A and B are shown apart, each in its own frame.
Chain A
Amino acid sequence: MNIEQLLLAVLTYGCLYSVMTVSLNLQYARGGMINFGTVAYFAAGAYAYAIFTQEPPSGLDQYAFGFNSPWWVGFIAAGVAAFLFAIVTGWPTLRLRGEYLALTTFAFAEVLHSIFLNERRIGNGSVGLSNVNRPDFSWIGMSDNYGFAGAAILLLMFTAFFCHRILASPYGRAIDAVRDDETAAEAVGKDIKRLRFEIFVISAVPVGFAGALYAMITTLVSPGLFTAEVTFFVWIALILGGEHTIKGAIFGTLALILFEEVVRSFNFETVRSAEIAASVEHIMTGIIFIMILRWQPFDRFTKKGAVQ
């Protein structure tokens, strides 16, 4: 792989995953909610896009739905799917805090994964859906690679702008207050349930769009692509970037993607050495993660209530 391809890949995937990191930043760093189920909204978006844009089933296809719609319908459907799944999973979990919220969101994500894996009529089982419609960039005069990089950048910019507007408004101030001290926030009239629910649901929508974009790029959606690894990747990216700002989230994601793509670009002699490299990358990611958590403690999020 040459430098140009590498940079393009980093840019495309970096921006795409950054959308998820920025969303997580809104949910966790500002909203105080630990969401361990991010991949579910990603998958919901990807599958919705695939289902809406693919052709109706024929021949040996086991899936049941294919609406053959244009890409932008699929894109919107992806956002709606993520939105709906966030409502379904967000509403019951809002009474929970901390590690318990983490577990339920995690469990819900695994439930969705299981459904996609087992319900052949929806997702065509472990094989996945492979006739995903890819929008054509030729009318703008760009090659696919550049087109998708541009799309990813655009999506990230919109998401970042969207989140920034929320955080810079009185709404953002209210969210920060709720995260800092719920009881005190209630004492000034903040409806903490409504605020947390809204943040949880609204931040899932860009993740759904990212899923659609991902489906467009890979033209394949299968359950194997949407495992908890994706969620943990986003978490590590968030922590790496210094978990409080939007810029940090983007930076952390790009750094992590760069790291991964560089490792991937090496030419390995044997399958085994490639495997070892991937494992070492895994280990190093874990170590960096632990180190950052240790030396950049979450002061803000552990001191609740009374100030010393």
Chain B
Amino acid sequence: MTDDILVVNKLTKQFGGLKAVGGQGGLSFNVKRGALVGLIGPNGAGKSTTFNLISGVLEPSSGSVALNGKVISNIKSSEIASHGLGRTFQTPRAFTSLSVLENVMVGAGSTGERLTSVFSGSWRTDEADIKSKAIEVLQQVGLDDRIGDIVANLSGGELRMLEVARQLIRDPEILLLDEPTAGVDPSLQGKLSSILVDLHNEGRTLIVVEHNLHFLLRIADVVIVLQNGELLAEGTPNEIKNDQRVISAYLGDEYAA
């Protein structure tokens, strides 16, 4: 097993005439196994696009992404998900016709999802396991009191945590989180921060896109800074805090947060 769980190599994405990601030589960076990586940059830097490229929602114009040594930039996102990569979205997505518990259970992928097994009933034994695992995971993300609820009653922040729970039940090796603090009450951000640290301590690799730098710089091992789709800087939180290029890119404003 290599030390780098994720290798992004000269990745570019072009929309018509606009190069959203890649710039001159394409975007390249490596992610070490077990690291908590922060991905930051001003608006329009291409952070979510990069996530979309890694998770397979978008196909790269050129370049490649490798997960555990296997190239994933040419396979569909559902396959990538089954290789141990999970992600949440910038605007939280939920299955509105399923209950909160079902929203998490559906993440698990039971044997009952093969049409042939539907009628044999063998999936019933799995169901109980999946259910208890789902409850466990919901407790882990702090949604204990929502377990019997429906999606429509959840706040934006809770929907985000539901998404995380849905990914967690899959036990992903690497988890991409797109702006997890957005819409989350400042008083709850401490809780969120400890959830992420716990996941980190479990050995999972996390890549977190965040605008809330105060939040991120306290927990990240490595920070990658993007600007206009290109890599601006890479380093520890301290290094990045003092990096002139980064400061001028942000114009110093967001540090106040």
Contact of A120 with B by CB under 8 A: no
Judging by beta carbons under 8 Å apart, are B95 and A177 in contact?
Answer: yes
Complex CA gap A174/B111 in Å reads 11
Q: Interface digits, A211-245 against B, CB 8 Å rule (1 contact, 0 not)?
A: 00000000000000000000000000000000000
With A171-B113, A173-B102 known as contacts, the answer to whether A189 contacts B95 (CB < 8 A) is no
Any B CB within 8 A of the CB of A136 = no
A64-93 vs B, CB cutoff 8 Å, 1 = contact: the mask equals 000000000000000000000000000000
Question: Which residue of chain B lies nearest to A306 when distances are taken between CB atoms in the complex?
Answer: B91
Bound Cα distance from A300 to B95, whole angstroms:
10
Interface residue stretch chosen among B7-15, B63-71, B82-90, B184-192: B82-90
Which listed residue (A173, A192, A305, A307) contacts B78, Cβ 8 A? A192
Q: Which of B56, B86, B93 contacts A181 (CB 8 A)?
A: B93
Is B98 an interface residue when CB atoms closer than 8 A count as contact?
Answer: yes
A-chain residues with CB within 8 Å of residue B118 when the two chains form the complex:
165-166, 169, 171
Q: Is the CB of A307 within 8 A of B97?
A: no
Partner of A176, one of B93, B97, B126: B97
B245 at the interface (CB under 8 A from A): no
Contact assessment for A307 and B94 in the assembled complex, using a CB-CB cutoff below 8 Å: yes
- Residues of chain A within 8 A (CB-CB) of B167 are 187-188
Contact between A180 and B81 (Cβ–Cβ < 8 Å)? no
Q: Contacts A189-B78, A307-B93; is A174 near B57 (CB within 8 Å)? A: no
A170 to B96, CA, bound (A): 16
Number of A residues contacting the other chain (C-beta, 8 Å)? 29
A305 to B163 Cα, complex, angstroms: 13
Whether the pair A180, B112 counts as a contact (CB closer than 8 A) is no
Residues of A within 8 A of B126 (CB): 170
Q: Which residue of A lies closest to B114 (CB)?
A: A171
Chain A residues numbered 293-307 whose CB sits less than 8 Å from any CB in chain B: 300, 303, 305-307
Given contacts A169-B112, A171-B118, A188-B109, contact A176 B123 (CB under 8 A): no
B97 touches A180 (CB 8 A): yes
CA distance A177 to B104 in the complex (A): 11
Does chain B have a CB within 8 A of A111?
Answer: no
How far is the CB of A162 from the nearest CB of chain B, in Å?
A: 8
**What's the Cα separation between A179 and B98 when bound, in Å?**
11
Question: Bound state CA distance, A303 and B115, in angstroms?
Answer: 27
Q: Which residue of A lies closest to B126 (CB)?
A: A170
Residue pair B92, A170 in contact (C-beta under 8 Å): no
Residues of A near B112 (CB, < 8 A) are 169-171
Contact of B115 among A187, A202, A300 (CB under 8 A): A202
Q: Which residues of B contact A165 (CB under 8 A)?
A: 118-119
Query: CB < 8 Å: which of A179, A186, A303 contacts B81?
Result: A186
- In this complex, what residue of B is CB-closest to A184? B93
In the complex, what's the smallest C-beta–C-beta distance from B141 to chain A, in angstroms?
A: 15
Is the CB–CB distance between A188 and B106 below 8 Å?
yes
Are B151 and A188 in contact, with the CB atoms below 8 A?
Answer: no
Mark each residue of chain B from 149 to 183: 1 if its CB lies under 8 Å from any CB of chain A, else 0. 00100000001000100110010000000000000
**Cβ contact within 8 Å between B95 and A170:** no
Q: Which of A170, A190, A198, A307 contacts B159 (CB 8 A)?
A: A307
User: Is A188's CB under 8 angstroms from B170's CB?
Assistant: yes
CB contact between B98 and one of A173, A186, A202 (< 8 Å): that residue: A173
B78 contacts A300, C-beta separation under 8 Å: no
A32 to B234 Cα, complex, angstroms: 44
B93 and A300 contact, CB distance less than 8 A: no
Given A170-B127, A174-B106, A176-B98, A186 contacting B76 (CB threshold 8 A): yes
Is A191 close to B, CB under 8 A? yes
Q: Are A176 and B95 in contact (CB under 8 A)?
A: yes
Which residues on the B side are within 8 Å of A183 (C-beta)?
Answer: 57, 77, 89, 93
Task: Apart from A170-B110, A180-B97, A184-B95, list 17 A-B contacts with CB within 8 A.
Answer: A173-B105, A174-B113, A176-B98, A177-B98, A179-B97, A180-B96, A180-B98, A183-B77, A184-B163, A185-B78, A186-B76, A186-B78, A186-B81, A188-B166, A300-B96, A306-B91, A307-B93
Sampled A-B contacts (7; CB under 8 Å): A169-B112, A174-B106, A176-B95, A180-B97, A183-B57, A202-B115, A300-B97
Chain A to chain B: the 10 pairs with minimum beta-carbon distance, closest first: A170-B112, A306-B91, A184-B93, A189-B81, A180-B95, A170-B110, A188-B107, A186-B78, A189-B82, A186-B77
